[in-house]
Amino acid sequence: MLIQTLTIIFVRDLNKLQQEIAAYKSETTIWLVNKGIANSGGNLCLHLLGNINTYIGAVIGNSGYVRNRPLEFTDTNIAKADLLQRIDTTIAAVNAAFAQLTEEDLPKEYPMLVFTEPITYEFFLVHLAAHLSYHLGQINYHRRLLDM
């Protein structure tokens, strides 16, 4: 039951991410940083995609994705259409990974040490959903404040 719930939440929020990126009037504004805002909407999008493709796509789904985390915060001027395509690819990776996961896997230890102590799949997947939601809200505010 939790896997189905997590799938719905991740796909819902990744679709919302796609709507937020698509809603930017100016592609330049996607990459704008000012007024004390540390990260652009585009870089937060790249960060979310890197995070999900790593911890869900590669680790759970064996997708072969290789993350370049520093580039998530330094790459700029990627076309909006490219970001939207990357979100589609991430949605597919989430669906494929969660299709491989069973309810019996959830209390097991997640195979990668991410924090200082081992964690379960269940704990980490809930954490990743909260992380997605947190940055999705930042992207929404970034767009509404700077994309005028």
- Looking at residue 11, the DSSP 8-state letter turns out to be H
Q: What is the CA 112 to chain-centroid distance, rounded? A: 18
Sequence-distant (6+) residues with CB within 8 A of 45 are 17, 21, 30, 83, 87, 139
Q: What is the pLDDT of residues 10-62, one digit of tens each?
A: 999 999 999 999 999 999 999 999 878 889 999 999 999 999 999 999 999 99
119/114 Cα distance (integer angstroms): 8
CA gap 112, 38 in Å, rounded? 29
Q: Hey, which CATH number is domain 2-146, 3.40.50.300, 1.20.120.450, 1.10.150.120, 1.20.950.20? A: 1.20.120.450
pLDDT at 34: 86
pLDDT for position 147: 85
- Give the start-end residues of each E strand in the chain: none
pLDDT of residue 36: 85
Considering all CA atoms of the chain, what is the largest pairwise distance in Å, rounded to the nearest integer? 48
Q: What is the pLDDT of residues 110-136, one digit of tens each?
A: 999 999 999 999 999 999 999 999 999
The predicted model scores a pTM of 0.96
